[in-house]
Each structure stands twice: as C-alpha cells, then as structure tokens.
Amino acid sequence: MTRATLTATPSDALQPTAIAITAAGFAPGETVRITSTLVDDAGVTWAAHGHFVADAQGEIDLATAPSEHGTYEGVDAAGLLWSMRPPSDTDRQFMIDATEKAHKLGSPQIDPVKPHVFELSASTDGQLRASTTLSLRRLAEGIEQVPLRDGRLRGQVFRWKERRLPDGRKRGCIFTFTGSGGGLELGYAPVLASLGYDVVCLAYFAYDDLPKFIAAIPLEYFEEGFQWAQQALGAETIAIQGASRGGELVMALASFLPEYVQGVIGIVPMYTTSVGWDPDKGFGGPSFTFRGEPIPHCGAGDDPDWDRMRRIGLAEPKGYALTPEYRKTLEEPETRANPLPVERAGGPVLLISGVDDQMWPSAWGSDLIVNRLRAKAFKHPYRHLCLKETGHITPFPNTVTTFTPAVLHSLLGIFLACGGTPAGTARTSRQSWDAMVAHYHSVFGY
C-alpha cells in the first residue's frame, strides 16, 4: 500500500474562494471514499462523502472525478462542501426540532464571523489513508465589528481599522438588509467587508426595540443610516444590497433616495413592494412610506389561512409554494400600474433571481424592472442574472445547500417552498458571487 495524500488548495481562504481538493498515492482504479466533516457551534456534526475511482496515476481531482455515490453524485469540485448533512440526514424534523435559528433554516450554527473548519479524510476499505484540514474564513484581519445604536438606528458595522485604502482613497460602504425573517443580515456582510469595504448591517424590524413586523416603515430611517455612514465612516460612495423583502427594499431606496446610493444589488427582488403586515392590524397599507406618503405596493389579496398553510407546508415535501398567490396579486392591473420608479437610481443595478423561485416570482419581477429601465433609457449599467436550477435562496459558494428547496420561516413557523435544487443552487452560487464582486468593482473602483 502506497503512502496516500489528500490536499485542499488553498487550505485557508475566504469562504467563496474556489477550492481544489485532490488525492494521490492510490492504486490505479482503486475506489476511495473521501469525507468532509464540520462541527458547528451547537456541537452538531455535519458530514458529506463521495466514492471516487483513482485514475491511471492513482490520483483523484474532484474537479474532474465523478462521485459514483454518496451525498452527491457526478463531477462537482465543491460537492463535499455544499452536500453536508446533519446526523438526521435531510429529514425536515431536524429543522422542526431545532432550537438554533440557523438549524431551523437548515444551516450549520456557526458565529457569522468565525471560519468554517472542515476535516477531510480519504479511506479505502474502511482504513484511513490520508487527511487534511480546510479553513474557510468569513472575516479578514483588520476589521472591527461594532454595534450601531445611534438615535433610532440599530445594527452592526464591520469597519476597517485602516480608514483609507493603500492608495489614500476612502473606503466604499455597503449597506446590507435582511429579508422577511428580520434581524441583522450577517450572511453576506462579513465576507463583503473582507473585500475591503466598510459594511453596515442596518436592521429595520424584528430586532432590539425596532418594529416587530414590516408595516409603514419610513424610508427616512434608512436616510438617517446613510447620513450616519457619511459622517461616522466618511463614506463618499454607498452601495446597498438586500435579498427577498430586503431586495424590494433596496429597489425602493434606490428609487426614492438616489442622492445617497451609487449602486444597488437586488437579490430575488420585486418590481414593487409588498403589502404591509402587522399581526394586530392584519394585511393592508404600505410596507414603507416616504415623506409621509405610501410608496408603490401591491394589494392585500386574500387573508391568508395560516393553519392551512402550516398543514400544507408540513405535508408537501417541498413546502408551501407562495409564488402562485404572489403572482396573482402582483399581476393585478392596479399593482402593475404602480411600480417602483427604479429609473431614478443613481448608479449601476444588479438583479439576481432564481428561475425556480417558489417563494415569489423574482425572475418575472426582475424582468419587469429591466423592462422599465430600458423603457426609461436608464443611464447607468444594469444586469439581470437569472439563475437556472435556483430558487429563492442564493448563498455564497462553498455553503451548505442541502435544505435550500424549503425553509422553516423563523417568524411564521411555516415550511415555505424556496425552489431550486441543492446541487443547482450550489453550482450557480459561483455565478452570483462573481457578478456581485464585479458590480462592486464598478461602483467603488476597487
């Protein structure tokens, strides 16, 4: 038996970095099981594996060698990272029984700024032949995480200790916004900061003493946030990013506060905003206001039957699909005649959607945004990246996507269909990440 090796290159990198996993020193044609494990902060062990056949040189490269069977099949360089499962495998009971928010969403519970540390091993016939460690960092050195509590502003800031770039220019600033789960957006934020930008995670509901739900939230709150960044961070250029309800929010901010925003990324966004919702008052009215007036929004539609939605969400393998109901409401003539004035945006626009979005029709909504920009002769660059095999969830590369087709909503407690496939979502994550990086290069010049 020859001495085998297992290598991850690079072995320490920022989370979205493409990782090459290779093995050598095996007999030609030998079947090798390669396994990845990750222990999260709650003590849950996530694992993935594949069975590979060594080539004529006794080598295996996951970028070219197919997994014949395991937690994923076929050729996928990142398969051992996205196909990880907890001990209960893909049973949704894992999410139902979970006490940690990340587990309820089907993800490892790991501090947002901590690296994800994977143990990789290669074995034949049950005998360990080689092992190595891979660390995917989420926050670069030189960044401090500080709370934001100024007036009514609430959130967290990832701020570079070196206030200027090496060439003396001021750093760009990105605002990131959460979706319908509320709280802070900490999935994208630390990684975006690691690219060299200051990042403000500005909460707007379901956090601290802010409103619990989205109803008549004034855009002036976000205007105060932009002004704070200009003064406290010295931000001369500001970009904004949000997903889902955060996606519609950033399109609204770009439309009504263009003097502050030089670039926008709407992830699974919509061409108008959703109706407001307060459990004490029900559905109705705007989600957001500006200068005391409602901004464009869709109608209330039919009152949802929450018990029915919960029953269907549990019974259906892919959860409760909201897209048909959303599409019906969003296509009403009054709503179609009341879109966001996105042509006012003050910089480049990037829209990222999933063809199979089952939460709401983000690809269709993004097309309507593009059509409006075209019709209004929008003067800045714009792009709609419509991802096949992807639904409502658009994570970074090298992220666990096993549970992405459905999500247990953290506020509603309903299994909602997201669409897409775990493998497809993982594959297209590289496209969305590359597009995001290119967008920020165009906005900030670095």
- Active site members: 244, 357, 392
* Strands 293-294 and 282-286, bridge-based pairing: unpaired
Contact 419, 320 (CB under 8 A): no
Contact 19, 134 (CB under 8 A): yes
Q: How far apart are CA 322 and CA 128, in angstroms?
A: 47
Q: What are the C-alpha distances in Å from 51 to residues 54, 80, 108, 157, 276?
A: 10, 11, 24, 43, 50
The DSSP 8-state label assigned to residue 4 in this structure reads: P
Residue in this structure with the two tokens 């459990």, named with its chain if needed:
279
Q: Six-digit token pair at 227?
A: 């002004």
Contact 148, 154 (CB under 8 A): yes
Residue in this structure with the two tokens 């390669």, named with its chain if needed:
34
Identify the CA nearest to 20 among candidates 54, 68, 64.
Answer: 64
What count of other Cβ atoms lies within 10 Å of the Cβ of residue 262? 21
Whether residue 66 has a cis bond before it, omega within 30° of 0: no
What count of other Cβ atoms lies within 10 Å of the Cβ of residue 3? 8
Please, which residues bridge with residue 269 across strands? none
* Strands 349-354 and 263-267, bridge-based pairing: parallel
Identify the CA nearest to 414 among candidates 313, 324, 331.
Answer: 313
**3-state SS string over 180-236?**
CCCCCCCCCHHHHHCCCCEEEEECCCCCCCCCCCCCCEEHHHHHHHHHHHHHHHCCC
Q: How far apart are CA 159 and CA 163, in angstroms?
A: 8
